[in-house]
Amino acid sequence: MRLSDDEKAMRDGAQGPAVAKAMDLLIRYGEALGAEDFVYTDNIAGVPGSSPKWVKEYYAADGGDYRAVFSRFDLDSDEVVDVPRINGFSCHLQGGMDPELWREQGMTEEAFANFQADEREVAGHGIQVLKTCTPYLAGNVPVMGEHCAWMESSAVVFCNSVIGGRTNCEGRESTSAAMLAKRIPNWGFHTDDFRKGQHLIEVEAAVDSIFEWGLLGYFTGSAVEDAIPVLDGAISDAALIKHKHFGAAAASSGGVEMYHMAGITPEAPTVEAAFGGANRGQRFTYGANERRETYERLNSVGESRDVDYVMLGCPHYSADQLAEAARMLEGRKVHENSDLWIFTSRAVKATAEASGSADIIRNAGAKLMTDTCSAISQAVPPGTRVAAFDSAKQTHYLPAIMGIEGWFGTTQECIDAACTSRWNGRLS
Amino acid sequence: MATVASRAPDLLIRGRKVVGGTTEGEALVTRQTISGWGGVNPMKGEIIETRHELRGQSFAGKILVFPGAKGSSGWSAMFHTTRLTGQAPIGLLYNITTTKAALGAVVMRVPTLTDFDSDPLDQIEAGDWVRIDADQGIVSVWKGGRPQ
């Protein structure tokens, strides 16, 4: 890779051993990608240094602490180095448990103490404790063209597609290193050409509600895998939460890290502009049959209609989604045979507390949780066999991770399932 | 681990170095992209994705031949964890360069190649014996298993 004088100095230790190790890892990574140089970044989102107890114990010979994990795992360093206060604007994405309801999530005192210790280290290193998969709803909104280094596939696809920020789908090690070096390989979505569309999806079935946007997202990822789709046709009623669901679904069923919607997303004023010329890729159609097949595929992991767990908030719910859930729950109670957990960020929860939705949700017997989700924390209510979700992404992941059955439907169907413990979802 | 094969390989494939080093072992092959976080169990080195053709199979100690990575940004950390648990693959051959696969290969520190002159997925089958010389950019393949 071609390094600037500053970058060579960092590699050679001018800013201390931790920055040198960070540069060493970023150079190995950049060469693995085939990148020629770095871009400067001052917007980094990752999970720096946080680890379960067993990982710390694995590095017992190195001290078994945050410093050891950050050095050996995050920086992939053969030696342990002191980790200085981070200079770049850095934030911590989702974590392993709710800071208050961790007992309900089945976490031990020991695991909670580990969680608190990691969080103190993160804050002590100058990293913003956002603890969410939706940093753009909690105080970190990039601007168009800004070079970022973000983890979290659903946040990455949102940053690239909806905002026009520029980030690859970074990993834990590259973001932790970037927090120290403020550099990331100049590859992929940092370059203009890479951001052009590759395949066309012609949308014929009407896509308007958040449920329909989610189905289309899941279809899109399955169709284009990790390529960049350009969607054109019957897509309407765009809103932040719909992009959030669409992108998360497309990133989990395929590897979509950026999409264009003609006339909707900022780098796609037209289909031609999105492709940067003529479409030379494949052409897919999303009609009534594809819509039904996608719905059936998502619901292929559901058999019993006796639902004992409903999980909402993947990606983390926004303030308007919490308000909508509260409206649907008002005057109702979660059924004694089921649980309803709703996940959001601490920032959005504070808004829901001030606005009254949090009380309505709790009064109905549901739990409002932050920081994590069932898939990240592998936490479901005891005895869960059958779950229901309004998120295609969570339906994709949680049944596989936990070995349970799962249903996918609308938010209303999920709330009805929580209040009756029966799944009555159907494709209208 | 590394043994010297006694007869000439059945075929050679050339590629670009992702991570240097040499290794050899049995191939595990899939034409489906692989999810890291949520798609593998790092304690067992096993594919767990619901509809994946390799579901239930272990890549531990094998050379993983696959089109590329997909899914969560936890890909590298999940495969990095397989290095800690001793369940990592010993080499990677992938076609599509993504940040997930590249970073995962770097932190697993296993010999890895990509950008091939011919598609490994058309030529390597599960159980074939594969040698990777990543520094030279050469994959040697013995069909049907370890050469006698």
- Cα–Cα distance for residue pair B73/A170, rounded to 1 Å: 6
Identify the pLDDT of residue A372. 97
A281: confidence class by pLDDT, cuts 50, 70, 90 = very high
Among B73, B76, B80, the residue with its CB nearest the CB of A152 is B73
Among B38, B77, B105, the residue with its CB nearest the CB of A172 is B77
Is the model's pLDDT at B72 over the cut of 90? no
- A contacts of B102 (beta carbons < 8 Å): 29, 32-33
CB contact under 8 A, A151 and B69: no
- Cα–Cα distance for residue pair B130/A138, rounded to 1 Å: 48
Sort A128 into a burial class: Cβ within 10 Å, 0-12 / 13-18 / 19+: middle
Q: Locate the chain B residue with the closest alpha carbon to A257.
A: B71
* DSSP helix, strand, coil percent of chain A (3-state; round to 5): 45, 15, 40
The CA distance from B101 to the nearest CA of chain A, in Å, is 9
Identify the pLDDT of residue A278. 87
Q: Is B93 helix (H, G, I), strand (E, B) or coil?
A: strand
Q: Locate the chain A residue with the closest alpha carbon to B70.
A: A255
Is the model's pLDDT at B6 over the cut of 80? no
Identify the pLDDT of residue B5. 56
Among B84, B98, B105, the residue with its CB nearest the CB of A255 is B98
Sheet strand arrangement including A309-317: A367-370, A339-344, A309-317, A386-389, A405-408
The CA distance from A206 to the nearest CA of chain B, in Å, is 27
Q: Locate the chain B residue with the closest alpha carbon to A26.
A: B103
Is A143 near chain B, with CB under 8 Å? no
CB contact under 8 A, B38 and A173: no
- Cα–Cα distance for residue pair A132/A319, rounded to 1 Å: 14
The CA distance from A330 to the nearest CA of chain B, in Å, is 34
Site from A1, A92, A173 to mutate, B interface, most B CB atoms within 10 angstroms? A173
Identify the pLDDT of residue A114. 97
Identify the pLDDT of residue A279. 86
Question: What b-and-e string marks burial along B125-142, b requiring 16 or more CB atoms within 10 Å of the CB?
Answer: eeebbbbbbbeebbbbbb
Q: What is the mean pLDDT of residues A177-190?
A: 98
Which residue is associated with the tokens 């960049």? Answer: A228
What's the number of CA atoms in the CB half-sphere (13 Å) around residue A24? 18
In tens, the pLDDT along A140-178 reads: 999 999 999 999 999 999 999 999 999 999 999 999 999
Q: What is the mean pLDDT of residues B62-77?
A: 93
- B contacts of A226 (beta carbons < 8 Å): 33, 68, 70, 96, 98
**What average pLDDT does the structure give for chain A?**
97
Which residue is associated with the tokens 């005057």? Answer: A331
| Phi then psi dihedrals of residue A23, to 5 deg | -65, -40
- Cα–Cα distance for residue pair A111/A68, rounded to 1 Å: 18
CB contact under 8 A, A28 and B106: yes
Q: Strand A260-261 vs strand A229-235: parallel, antiparallel, or unpaired?
A: parallel
Q: Is A191 helix (H, G, I), strand (E, B) or coil?
A: coil
Q: Is A368 helix (H, G, I), strand (E, B) or coil?
A: strand
Is the model's pLDDT at A139 over the cut of 80? yes
Is A24 near chain B, with CB under 8 Å? no
Active site residues of B: 72
A364: confidence class by pLDDT, cuts 50, 70, 90 = very high
Q: Provide the percentage of residues in chain A whose pLDDT is more than 70.
A: 100
What's the number of CA atoms in the CB half-sphere (13 Å) around residue A106? 10
Q: Locate the chain A residue with the closest alpha carbon to B107.
A: A76
Assess whether the previous peptide bond of A84 is cis (omega < 30° from 0).
Answer: no
Complex ipTM, two decimals?
A: 0.95
Closest CA to A194 of A156, A223, A162, A167: A167
Is the model's pLDDT at B4 over the cut of 80? no
A401 within 8 A of A314, measured Cβ to Cβ: no
Q: Chain A to chain B, count of Cβ pairs less than 8 Å apart? A: 105
- A contacts of B71 (beta carbons < 8 Å): 153, 251-252, 255
Is the model's pLDDT at A39 over the cut of 90? yes
Is A281 near chain B, with CB under 8 Å? no
In tens, the pLDDT along A394-415 reads: 999 899 889 999 999 999 999 9
Closest CA to A176 of A294, A45, A298, A301: A45
- DSSP code of A102? T
Site from B82, B106, B108, B135 to mutate, A interface, most A CB atoms within 10 angstroms? B106
Is A375 near chain B, with CB under 8 Å? yes
The CA distance from B147 to the nearest CA of chain A, in Å, is 31
